[in-house]
Amino acid sequence: MQNILVIKLGALGDFIQAAGPFEAIRRFHPDAEITLLTTTIFAGLAQSSPWFNKIKIDPKPKITQIGEWIKLRNWLREGKFSRIYDLQTSYRSSFYFKLLKPATSSHPNPNWSGIATGCSHPHANPERDFMHTIERQKEQLLAAGISDVRPGDFSWIDGDISRFGLNENFALLVPGGAPHRIAKRWPGQSYLKLIQYLVSKNIQPVLVGGDDERKQLIDLAAIEPACFSLAGKTTHKDLFALAQKAQFAIGNDTGPMHAFSASGCKTVVLYASDSNPKICAQRGSDVTLIQEDNISDIKPDQIIKLLALHEINNQT
C-alpha cells in the first residue's frame, strides 16, 4: 500500500479551492493510505470528506521550539511516505522537505510535489505566483503526473441547518472579513440598504461571519428585526448546507464566499483593489465579481439591479 501525504494548512478559501486537487490525488492513488497534514480548524471538514484516511494536525512550531521541530521531523521520517504533495507551497511547508534529510536506506527521500529546492516534481513555472490558485495547483499536479483535476465537488456534504430556524426564503450576507484588511469590507450602511431591500422582497437576510465579527453582525442585525446573525455559530459544513438552501449569497472577498460559490449558489463577491481576483477569485457555476479601487464606490443600487435581474430570470 502506498503511503501518501498531502500538506494543506489554510486559509479557508485556499482549502476549499484545493478540493479539486484533493479529489485528483485520491483518484490517482485509489488504494493508497492518504494522510492530510493541516491545521485544527480544517480537521473536521477533512475528516468527513472522502479524500483522506488520516488527519495530522500541524503544530506549526515557532523557530525557538526545537523540541517540537524534532517531533515533527520524526513524524515525517517515520511516516515513510512514498510521495508528498505540498499544496501549501509556502516557506514553512517547503522547509518540511529539508526536515526529511538526510536520506538513508531505512528513510529514503519521498517523491515531493511542490516548490522546495531539489524536490523530485517541482512546479517550476516562474509565473506561478501570478496564476489563479486553481490553475496553479492543476499545473503543479500535472508536473507530478496527475492530469485529471476537476472542479471541487462538495455534494457529499449533508448538513442540517434546521437548528437555526431560518425562513424558507433567505439570502446570505457576509459583511466581515480579516480584521487587518478593513479596506476589503463594504460599508455597513451599504449592507443596511441591501438588507432593507431584501426585507421588502420577503427575503430573510442572514448574516454569516466568525467569532471576531460577532459584534459587527449583531449590531447590523439589530437595526432590522427581520435580519438574523449567525456570527460564530456555523461550522464549515454548515456554510455549504446554507448555500444549498439560500436564494443567493453576497459578500466581501473572504473565506465563506468560497464555500458559497463552490456549492453552486448564486454568488456576488465585492472586491476592492486590495485583492486581485485574477489570483484568488471565487469559482463556481454562478459567480459575479464586482470590483472598485475603493470598495465603498460600489453602490447598493448596483447589487439591487443584479438581484432584480436574477428574480426576473427565475420567473421566466
On the question of pLDDT at 316 being above 60, the answer is no
pLDDT tens track for 243-280 = 999 999 999 999 999 999 999 999 999 999 989 999 99
Domains 3-143 and 166-315 belong to one CATH topology:
yes
Task: Please tell me the CATH superfamily of domain 166-315, with its number.
Answer: Glycogen Phosphorylase B; (3.40.50.2000)
Is residue 74 over pLDDT 70? Answer: yes
pLDDT, mean of residues 90-118? 94
Q: Is there a contact between 209 and 232 (Cβ–Cβ < 8 Å)?
A: yes
Query: What is the mean pLDDT of the segment spanning 22-36?
Result: 98
Instruction: State the average pLDDT for the chain.
Output: 95
pLDDT at 315: 60
pLDDT digits (tens, 9 = 90+) for 123-151: 999 999 999 999 999 999 999 999 999 99
Give me the mean pLDDT over the 153-171 stretch: 94
- Does residue 12 surpass a pLDDT of 60? yes
How does residue 309 score in pLDDT terms, banded at 50, 70 and 90? confident
Cβ-based neighbour number of residue 33 at 10 Å? 15
State yes or no: pLDDT of 34 exceeds 80.
yes
Q: What is the pLDDT of residue 103?
A: 87
Assign 181 a pLDDT band (cuts: 50, 70, 90): confident
End-to-end CA distance of the chain: 54
pLDDT at 310: 72
16 SS3 class: helix
pLDDT value at position 2?
93
The share of the chain scoring above pLDDT 90, in percent, equals 89
User: 3-143 sits in which CATH class?
Assistant: alpha beta
Q: Does position 299 have pLDDT exceeding 80, yes or no?
A: yes
Radius of gyration of the chain, Cα coordinates, nearest whole angstrom:
21
Residue 43 has pLDDT above 80, yes or no: yes
Which of 299, 210, 292, 197 minimizes the C-alpha distance to 248?
197
Q: How much is the pLDDT for 179?
A: 80
Query: What are the structural domain ranges in the chain?
Result: 3-143, 166-315
Banded model confidence at residue 159, pLDDT cuts 50, 70, 90: confident
156 phi and psi angles, rounded to 5 deg: -70, -15
Determine the pLDDT at residue 282: 98
* 1-5: average pLDDT: 93
What is the predicted pLDDT for the residue at 177?
Answer: 87
pLDDT for res 312: 60
Q: pLDDT tens digits for 183-205?
A: 999 999 999 999 999 999 999 99
Whole-number Cα distances in Å, 293 to 194, 253, 272, 298, 302 = 21, 14, 5, 9, 16
SS (H, E, C) 19-65: HHHHHHHHHHCCCCEEEEEECHHHHHHHHHCCCCCEEEECCCCCCCC
